Amino acid sequence: MNQQNAELIDIFDLLKIIRKNIVFLFFSIIFCSGLSVLYARMFVPAEYQSEAQILVTQAQADSSNQIGTIKANIDMIPTYRDILYGIPVLGPVADKSEGRYSVSELQKHLTFKQSENSQAFSIAIRLDSAKSAQETLANITNQFTDILTEIYGENINKIVILSPASFQDKKVAPSMVRFVILGAVVGMTLSSLFLVVRRLMDHTISNHDYLEAEGLTLMTELYSLKDKEVSSTYFIRDAKRN
């Protein structure tokens, strides 16, 4: 029971140590956050995004059933996504980039988003420059329109580019805020772990309960002397000798 109490007291002691070293923790967080931001600026490539919105409508088989036609258009959107990510669309776009981007790289950086209960869908791409992102996405939308017309022919009523490939000169990645938070978490974790390990490695007896639990008797306590007290002690001793 005494051993359990001692362990419980040790836990509270560790919390006290963390509170006593709050300045150390603070500077560790600042230091790691700074390193994280420096790493992001020097080693993480910048990404710029371009986005476009497209609407595709199928030809109406029954003009009186508009609700059914709208539902059919919405149901076709997952198929359009598969076509968009396919080689017939991205292959020629990769060729136009003159080896700068491969099909797999375009697939990796391309995103597809469908709004709920909407016939329109958005596509976006993130690349290493704003100009490249806009030009590449424009080529993708044009190639997608051609392939879709080739596949469905007269079954397609119309393909409307609601929003052409946008130009955004503000980079979307890396996020400095995210790296600052990540650095702060890492700094807090490492510094806390250091304090905990240092405390666990310290076998100094810090309370009487441990001695009582081990059946030992405290004979006396030794205190550290300041430099002024030490010099005074030597002076008194030399005076007695004289």
Residue 24 lies in a domain: yes
Q: What are phi and psi of 127, to 5 degrees?
A: -135, -175
Residue ranges making up the domain that contains 73: 48-163
Residue 8 lies in a domain: yes
pLDDT in tens, 46-59: 999 999 999 998 87
Residue 146 lies in a domain: yes
Q: Which two tokens stand for residue 232?
A: 């005074």
Question: Is 184 found in the same domain as 86?
Answer: no
Question: Is 151 found in the same domain as 229?
Answer: no
pLDDT in tens, 116-153: 878 899 999 999 999 999 999 999 999 999 999 999 88
Question: Is 31 found in the same domain as 112?
Answer: no
Place of tokens 């409307």: 160
Q: Give SS3 for 208.
A: helix
Cα within 13 Å of Cα(62), Cβ side = 9
Q: What are phi and psi of 128, to 5 degrees?
A: -80, -5
CATH number at residue 105: 3.30.70.1130
Q: Is the pLDDT of residue 224 over 60?
A: yes
pLDDT recorded at residue 223: 65
The DSSP annotation for 125-138 comes to EEESSHHHHHHHHH
Domain limit, last residue, from 112, 140, 163: 163
Residue 168 lies in a domain: no
**pLDDT grade for 10, boundaries at 50, 70 and 90:** low
Q: Are 145 and 92 in contact (CB under 8 A)?
A: no
Question: Is 121 found in the same domain as 34?
Answer: no
* Angle CA 131–136–138, to nearest 5: 100
Residue 203 lies in a domain: yes
Lowest pLDDT segment from 71-80, 151-160, 219-228: 219-228
Question: Is 187 found in the same domain as 140?
Answer: no
Question: Is 64 found in the same domain as 7?
Answer: no
Question: Is 28 found in the same domain as 100?
Answer: no
Question: Is 157 found in the same domain as 52?
Answer: yes
**pLDDT grade for 200, boundaries at 50, 70 and 90:** confident
Query: If 0-12 CB within 10 Å is exposed, 13-18 middle and 19+ buried, where does residue 180 land?
Result: middle
Burial 91-105 (b: 16+ CB within 10 A, else e): ebbbeebeeebebee
Residue 26 lies in a domain: yes
What is residue 18's DSSP assignment?
Answer: H
Residue 95 lies in a domain: yes
Residue 143 lies in a domain: yes
Query: If 0-12 CB within 10 Å is exposed, 13-18 middle and 19+ buried, where does residue 43 land?
Result: exposed
Provide the number of structural domains found in the chain. 2
Question: Is 52 found in the same domain as 33?
Answer: no
Domain limit, last residue, from 112, 131, 163: 163
Q: Are 120 and 54 in contact (CB under 8 A)?
A: yes
Domain limit, last residue, from 121, 143, 163: 163
